[in-house]
Chains A and B, each alone.
Chain A
């Protein structure tokens, strides 16, 4: 069960989250559907390790990353996952997420690389003043590209799912990127059976998405069945939030900028995705454990990226971002 401590705060003070959320262990056999998804993902992870010179796993610490890491531990057992984790940190990450990240890497003895765009940050780029699309490009896309180039990774495993969003639905599991990490949706390699074409010309790279065929519900039911630890922010708790343009923004630290008249209020909320905290809206929820989240998911009628202000910026924003080299 989850164990969280919420300390009551005066208005305008950030939330404190401690400890880690785990689902109730429900070690019943996986359904045939989840078993097939698990076997498929393990196959993909092994193919990456067998075929690429220097792979890395993009670890955002979110629920999809947590599932992907769990699958990697399964795929290479009894060996540990034979690649490092890479976290692109913007400096505006939820603190609970960073704690979870460090704890996970320590617990499993994994090499953790953290990379950010320090140059842009010191030039004053921040989620309040910088236009959202530009902020995302600089702090996420550019940071990711420079990290991949710096280390010379030829394959990067990502937690993207085809059900997240329309442009993802057409992306290959092994998604070829030309120099500068550009994705060309019109020139993708056909992907047949489980025979992935992993050949790269020099300077090119591959993004690989083992969870391509998973849905949000699959991810949650798998977390439930496998008792995978997740950041507690995914579960409902009383949190200090600001209501802004109809969205609930959690106050994660003292850097929050308040508009005149704005007040922090305490609400029972959780997050469906975890981006930079000032740009990620919470939803009101009573789901205080994973079973509750699954039940809520079957009930709600809202696809998950709704809560992410970054994506609301443009209708086809994801495709544009992906062409530029986004995750």
Chain B
């Protein structure tokens, strides 16, 4: 049995130096995880008398131990779960000693709940991996270690529990510790601390046990109280995502936010990552008076020297060490949703204080968390982990997650269900020219648009060859011009004579064709124009990607519909005839599929209405948008 409890707490008031550690406990009910956390809380004197009374009553009703207190019952919060005897979600527990306050994320060990573990791990600095001394390392332990490492936790405790049930065997303990260290070698942990313990009896939990005289290390609580987790975010370059612009009156214009990494000081030059504009920090304002500097984690308000354009979502950064600013990047995802991830799906991405529409452009691979090997994949199901490529509608400023947790993490939100679909960690930019930083524009797209007095827009006409896209698009442009709108028509065939002359008609070439036209249309809107695109663009994923380039509501996907028979009759360019003679391959509607728009803004059927009428309907839609 453990010897007398060493008073760890309450000898100093008012805890002026008390620090904080947030940690994650991983393992299953069988490993005794809930018992361990309950025991830690109880032994660190976080347990109140009325809770002990309730626990005694509960132990009699629900307990799984034959006698005494079932510490696990302290943790299972919700009624239904308690009846099932399992924990199904992330629960947060609190206890403290004089030295430290602890926040414990308690997550379940079942395979299907990877999402809960990722959730708990995202805010933790340390993880306790629980192992049953009789069973040794299980697949589950390896899986937990892999997720913990992926989420950026660098300190791990291997809690070898139920050591009493293997007769306090040193050999058994060393065996388990050695096999874990071998497995964890590639996982980039900065510290791995194996501790033999019995959660039920309290050996090596709060105090060192006399029953493991061969163990020279600290008790679990002593380790948690003293470990210094690396202040990585404090040493990383300065990043300050602007959360909210504070304008109480004409005099004051402050930028409120939390320093994501590094340290900001009065007089520091800063760059607004998105625009490339430079300015200088004038004041660091807080309710308790101005500061000279503020380090990672502090929520402050900055004022800047110049009247620059800064809004929520912008990132202020150290100009000598800038974040990457790009629309295309690779990332690792932990998939959290029932609806599977496939290329072409669109989401909202939230990173720092910015939220932008994005498309998943490619699933690169999936990670097997048992073998730590990556295999090519095409989809990510619930609880899967994998590498993807993402294209955002607007440039995003970020750092790789392994260099900066605060500016490399993001979530994906399903646009229909609004659920949080994925936890994401940026790996790298996909731009060929990574160190090209955006040049600050003095005349912005908004200025150009307001000079023209219109809201720029992409009107994207898709449909089979011969469905009437070009005819309708021409009428639309003529009518808009008559209304005094500034427009530009981008016709697929015409562009293939110049910009896209190098492209053929196979699937990959068509995708690239659509990508270029999408980018071109976006540039036109940045010039303040209404861009009208007439392009077969047969694949939904390509159209989705083009739409993702534009802000919400500024991309109209219009399906110009006509039966294939009618298109063949019309055959304005003789394509169908040529294909039938065997002189042409890759003709949409014949040997190449056309994917109907899933959710078009408008459908105009040119077999039912005239081109003139179709154009009028499109105009009505545009006018409606302003």
The A-contacting residues of B in range 334-381, CB under 8 angstroms, are 336, 348, 350-351, 353
A316 at the binding interface (Cβ < 8 Å): yes
Binds B, one of A35-43, A103-111, A119-127: A35-43
- On whether A31 and B297 interact (CB within 8 A), knowing A46-B256, A78-B285, A193-B405, the answer reads no
B204 to chain A, nearest CB (A): 25
Q: Are A39 and B94 in contact (CB under 8 A)?
A: no
A95 at the binding interface (Cβ < 8 Å): no
Q: Are B423 and A221 in contact (CB under 8 A)?
A: no
Binds A, one of B408-416, B466-474, B496-504, B512-520: B408-416
A188 at the binding interface (Cβ < 8 Å): yes
Q: Are A192 and B122 in contact (CB under 8 A)?
A: yes
A31, A186, A225, A306: the one within 8 Å of B17 (CB): A31
Chain A residues closer than 8 Å to B13, beta-carbon distance: 294-295
Binds B, one of A136-144, A163-171, A230-238, A247-255: A163-171
A298 to chain B, nearest CB (A): 5
Q: Are B49 and A302 in contact (CB under 8 A)?
A: yes
**A233-245: contact bitstring with B at CB < 8 Å (1 yes, 0 no)?**
0000000000000
Q: Are B119 and A191 in contact (CB under 8 A)?
A: yes
Q: Are B48 and A77 in contact (CB under 8 A)?
A: no
B575 to chain A, nearest CB (A): 44
Chain A residues closer than 8 Å to B409, beta-carbon distance: 192-193, 195
Q: Are B91 and A170 in contact (CB under 8 A)?
A: yes
Instruction: State A46–B256 Cα separation when bound (angstroms).
Output: 8
Q: Are B353 and A50 in contact (CB under 8 A)?
A: yes
**B268-282: contact bitstring with A at CB < 8 Å (1 yes, 0 no)?**
000000000000000
The A-contacting residues of B in range 34-76, CB under 8 angstroms, are 47-52, 54, 75-76
Instruction: State A40–B52 Cα separation when bound (angstroms).
Output: 31
Q: Are B312 and A50 in contact (CB under 8 A)?
A: yes
- On whether A167 and B77 interact (CB within 8 A), knowing A195-B410, A195-B411, A197-B418, the answer reads yes
Q: Are A221 and B77 in contact (CB under 8 A)?
A: no
A39, A75, A166, A301: the one within 8 Å of B49 (CB): A301
A47 at the binding interface (Cβ < 8 Å): yes
The residue on A at minimum CB distance from B123 is A193
B20, B299, B413, B419: the one within 8 Å of A42 (CB): B299
The B-contacting residues of A in range 66-122, CB under 8 angstroms, are 73-80
A38, A50, A217: the one within 8 Å of B244 (CB): A50
Which range contains the number of B residues in contact with the other chain?
A: 35 or more
B89 at the binding interface (Cβ < 8 Å): yes
A246 at the binding interface (Cβ < 8 Å): no
The residue on A at minimum CB distance from B409 is A193
Q: Which of B10, B92, B123 has the most CB of A within 10 A?
A: B92
Chain B residues closer than 8 Å to A260, beta-carbon distance: none
Binds A, one of B95-103, B178-186, B391-399, B448-456: B95-103
Q: Are A31 and B248 in contact (CB under 8 A)?
A: no
Instruction: State A32–B244 Cα separation when bound (angstroms).
Output: 25
- On whether A36 and B420 interact (CB within 8 A), knowing A31-B17, A50-B312, A213-B92, the answer reads no
Chain B residues closer than 8 Å to A191, beta-carbon distance: 119, 420
Chain B residues closer than 8 Å to A74, beta-carbon distance: 286-288
Q: Are A197 and B94 in contact (CB under 8 A)?
A: no
Instruction: State A50–B246 Cα separation when bound (angstroms).
Output: 10
A9 at the binding interface (Cβ < 8 Å): no
Q: Which of A162, A212, A225 has the most CB of B within 10 A?
A: A162
Instruction: State A36–B20 Cα separation when bound (angstroms).
Output: 8
**B72-115: contact bitstring with A at CB < 8 Å (1 yes, 0 no)?**
00011111100000001111111010001101000000000001
B116 at the binding interface (Cβ < 8 Å): yes
B312, B406, B418: the one within 8 Å of A201 (CB): B418
The residue on B at minimum CB distance from A189 is B420
Instruction: State A49–B245 Cα separation when bound (angstroms).
Output: 10
Q: Are B20 and A169 in contact (CB under 8 A)?
A: no
Q: Are A39 and B244 in contact (CB under 8 A)?
A: no
A146 at the binding interface (Cβ < 8 Å): no
Q: Are B94 and A43 in contact (CB under 8 A)?
A: no
Q: Are B119 and A75 in contact (CB under 8 A)?
A: no
The residue on A at minimum CB distance from B57 is A315
Instruction: State A58–B373 Cα separation when bound (angstroms).
Output: 50
B96 to chain A, nearest CB (A): 7
Chain B residues closer than 8 Å to A192, beta-carbon distance: 118-119, 122-123, 409, 411, 420, 423
Q: Are B48 and A301 in contact (CB under 8 A)?
A: yes
Q: Are B93 and A195 in contact (CB under 8 A)?
A: no
Instruction: State A29–B16 Cα separation when bound (angstroms).
Output: 7
B18 at the binding interface (Cβ < 8 Å): yes
Q: Are A77 and B16 in contact (CB under 8 A)?
A: no
B301 at the binding interface (Cβ < 8 Å): yes
B19 at the binding interface (Cβ < 8 Å): yes
Q: Are A77 and B91 in contact (CB under 8 A)?
A: no
Chain A residues closer than 8 Å to B621, beta-carbon distance: none
Instruction: State A192–B14 Cα separation when bound (angstroms).
Output: 32
**A1-20: contact bitstring with B at CB < 8 Å (1 yes, 0 no)?**
00000000000000000000
Instruction: State A186–B77 Cα separation when bound (angstroms).
Output: 12
Q: Are B243 and A39 in contact (CB under 8 A)?
A: no
A46, A79, A294, A306: the one within 8 Å of B299 (CB): A46
Q: Are B10 and A185 in contact (CB under 8 A)?
A: no
The residue on A at minimum CB distance from B48 is A303
Chain B residues closer than 8 Å to A35, beta-carbon distance: 298
Instruction: State A212–B51 Cα separation when bound (angstroms).
Output: 20
B14, B93, B248: the one within 8 Å of A224 (CB): B14
Q: Are B248 and A78 in contact (CB under 8 A)?
A: yes
A57 to chain B, nearest CB (A): 16
B14, B122, B247: the one within 8 Å of A225 (CB): B14
The A-contacting residues of B in range 138-153, CB under 8 angstroms, are none
A313 at the binding interface (Cβ < 8 Å): no
Chain A residues closer than 8 Å to B287, beta-carbon distance: 73-74, 77
Q: Are B20 and A33 in contact (CB under 8 A)?
A: yes
A162, A189, A200, A300: the one within 8 Å of B48 (CB): A300
B258 at the binding interface (Cβ < 8 Å): yes
Chain B residues closer than 8 Å to A188, beta-carbon distance: 89
A130 at the binding interface (Cβ < 8 Å): no
A287 to chain B, nearest CB (A): 14
Instruction: State A69–B100 Cα separation when bound (angstroms).
Output: 26
- On whether A39 and B299 interact (CB within 8 A), knowing A46-B256, A50-B353, the answer reads yes
Chain B residues closer than 8 Å to A197, beta-carbon distance: 350, 411, 413, 418-420
**B256-269: contact bitstring with A at CB < 8 Å (1 yes, 0 no)?**
11100000000000
Q: Are B49 and A162 in contact (CB under 8 A)?
A: no
A280 to chain B, nearest CB (A): 16
Q: Are B48 and A190 in contact (CB under 8 A)?
A: no
Q: Are B50 and A302 in contact (CB under 8 A)?
A: yes
A321 to chain B, nearest CB (A): 12
Chain B residues closer than 8 Å to A195, beta-carbon distance: 350-351, 409-411
Instruction: State A35–B258 Cα separation when bound (angstroms).
Output: 13
Chain A residues closer than 8 Å to B80, beta-carbon distance: 186
**Known contacts A190-B116, A295-B13; can you find 7 more A-B pairs with CB under 8 A?**
A43-B243, A78-B248, A166-B76, A167-B78, A190-B115, A199-B348, A298-B9
For the complex of A and B, list the 9 residue pairs with the smallest distance between their C-beta atoms, beginning with the closest: A166-B77, A79-B248, A301-B49, A74-B287, A42-B299, A77-B287, A192-B122, A303-B48, A33-B20
Between-chain CB contacts (< 8 Å), 12 pairs: A31-B17, A46-B244, A74-B286, A167-B77, A186-B88, A190-B115, A190-B420, A192-B122, A195-B350, A199-B348, A302-B50, A319-B78
